Structure 1
Amino acid sequence: MNQIMNARQKVVEKGVQILETSLTVGTWGNISCRIPSEDCFAITPSGMNYETLKPEDVVIVDFNGKILNGTRKPSIELPLHLAIYHARQDIQAIIHTHSAYATAMATARKGIPGAVEDLVQIVGGDVRVNEYALPGTPQLGINTVKALEGRNAVLLANHGMLGVGKDLDEALRVCQVVEKSAKIILFARLMGGAIELSQEDITGMRNFYLNDYGQK
């Protein structure tokens, strides 16, 4: 039960952070994280303000989508989170935002090229755009899983972006780096275009991030 409460608290904290850092506005976006010991995950409720969200508002759901704990209605994007967790056992947390520059790229249906070093390190390469599907539909989950293959981020066509990671802290860093990179690419294109890194360099930097970066 302590792990459930901890997960709920962390989801609430990340909700405040994405609002304070302008990765979303209002009640849009959604957040979830696995609770491995309980074989379930915590997900934000639908349409509630992050500033007033309390841990008990966060919904606990199993991997069939059944509510195990909580009185709130889960995010409309529950099918999206379920699809990602089923497809990617390495993913422990998901943050979906509506940040301005990444959403501009998603609206233009232009991926973010692998041209920024910290982007390729944390994401694994370029950021693809999924094929459009309506919010809240199972098809959105199918399309997103496909575009997310081998990556830690994806642009949701005409919608926003989604970052994943080994925990909520990493998922948030992914969202922040993708938003910064989208801004950089837009400015670079005003100066003639961004120069993509080679696949060899991308692979090398990704491996460095996974195996040697930070305090091990």
Structure 2
Amino acid sequence: MLLEEIRKKIVDYGNQLISSGLTIGTAGNISIYDPETGYMAISPSGIPYAQTTPEDVVVMDLQGNVVDGKRKPSSENGLHAAFYLEKPDARAVVHAHSMYCTTLACAGVDLKATHYAIADTGVATVPTVPYFTYGTPELAAAVRECLRGTDSKALLMANHGMVAYGDSLEKAFAVAMTCEWCAQVEWRAMAISTPNVLSDEQMAEVIEHYKTYGQAKEDGKKSQGYFG
């Protein structure tokens, strides 16, 4: 089976999407890009995560062609490919309909630096992609266009959900978790007052500090951020 270990990992993290509360039902999707082959493995469309097997995971090229697998791939395969085509460091993408990120996206509110943990995304404000129907080339194109104008490791998608990427699936998942936690903090702060949003200068200092957060890289245990 082509990219067997990668496909197993997608099954594992699909279950974690549910157990972590990042999504419910069959909403959301996960992919991993293999630079050696130029292919991405992506979760199948409409199969409950608990019932998904590695054989159900679909291997595709970045032009939307199925290379291996008998299942229909996630309808958002074009969205995932947009990350790998636009961001050379992208190795995994996590898309979820997490409650608080989705709430902000539906209200037209960007994810801001209400808490400094948003530094996991690499920016002070996570931008929002305009609304387009899910699973369409138009949405994928809008995501790619947004990526060209930001260094953010995550995006909100209007009236839809959130999407995060990283140089590993562990990191992409951690960024998604950070975004959801920060979105909940922002929502709760908005419920009682006007959030005290950190300035770009304050966040630039935090982002610089994050470069040395956790264990030294040479020990092979790179930090995935606060929530990884």
* TM-score bracket for this pair, using the shorter chain length: over 0.9
- Displacement of 1:125 in angstroms is 2.0
- Displacement of 1:135 in angstroms is 0.6
Q: 1:191 and 1:166 mapped to 2: Cα distance?
A: 37
- Displacement of 1:191 in angstroms is 2.7
User: Higher mean Cα deviation, 113-122 or 58-67?
Assistant: 113-122
RMSD: 1.5
**Structure 2 counterpart of 1:167:** 168
Q: How many residues align?
A: 214
Instruction: Rate the CA distance shift 1:130–1:212 in 2: closer, same or farther, 3 A.
Output: same
Q: 2:80 and 2:49 mapped to 1: Cα distance?
A: 19
Q: Which one-letter code corresponds to 1:201 in the other structure?
A: Q
Q: Tell me the alpha carbon deviations over residues 185-204 of structure 1, each in whole angstroms, 9 at most, x when there is no partner.
A: 11111232112222222223
Q: Tell me the alpha carbon deviations over residues 3-24 of structure 1, each in whole angstroms, 9 at most, x when there is no partner.
A: x111111111110001111111
**Structure 2 counterpart of 1:154:** 155
Asked if the contact 1:121/1:202 (under 8 Å) is kept, the reply is no
Within 5 Å, which residues of 2 pair with 1:180-195? 180-195=181-196
- Displacement of 1:141 in angstroms is 1.3
**Structure 2 counterpart of 1:214:** 214
Q: Which one-letter code corresponds to 1:177 in the other structure?
A: T
- Displacement of 1:123 in angstroms is 4.0
Q: Tell me the alpha carbon deviations over residues 70-125 of structure 1, each in whole angstroms, 9 at most, x when there is no partner.
A: 11111001111112211111111100001111111111111111221111233422
Say if 2:86 is the partner of 1:87.
Answer: yes
**Structure 2 counterpart of 1:98:** 97
Asked if the contact 2:120/2:178 (under 8 Å) is kept, the reply is no
Within 5 Å, which residues of 2 pair with 1:1-12? 4-12=3-11
Which runs of 4 or more aligned residues in structure 1 lie more than 6 Å from their structure 2 counterparts after TM superposition?
none
Q: Structure 1-normalised TM-score?
A: 0.93
Q: Tell me the alpha carbon deviations over residues 153-209 of structure 1, each in whole angstroms, 9 at most, x when there is no partner.
A: 111111111111111111111111111111111111123211222222222322332
**Structure 2 counterpart of 1:24:** 23
Q: Which one-letter code corresponds to 1:191 in the other structure?
A: I
- Displacement of 1:146 in angstroms is 3.1
User: Higher mean Cα deviation, 136-145 or 68-77?
Assistant: 136-145
Please give the secondary structure, in 2, of the residue aligned with 1:183: helix
Asked if the contact 1:112/1:126 (under 8 Å) is kept, the reply is yes
Please give the secondary structure, in 2, of the residue aligned with 1:37: coil
Q: Tell me the alpha carbon deviations over residues 41-67 of structure 1, each in whole angstroms, 9 at most, x when there is no partner.
A: 110111111001111111111122211
Asked if the contact 2:114/2:185 (under 8 Å) is kept, the reply is no
Q: Tell me the alpha carbon deviations over residues 113-159 of structure 1, each in whole angstroms, 9 at most, x when there is no partner.
A: 12211112334221111111011111111222233421011111111
Instruction: Rate the CA distance shift 1:163–1:155 in 2: closer, same or farther, 3 A.
Output: same
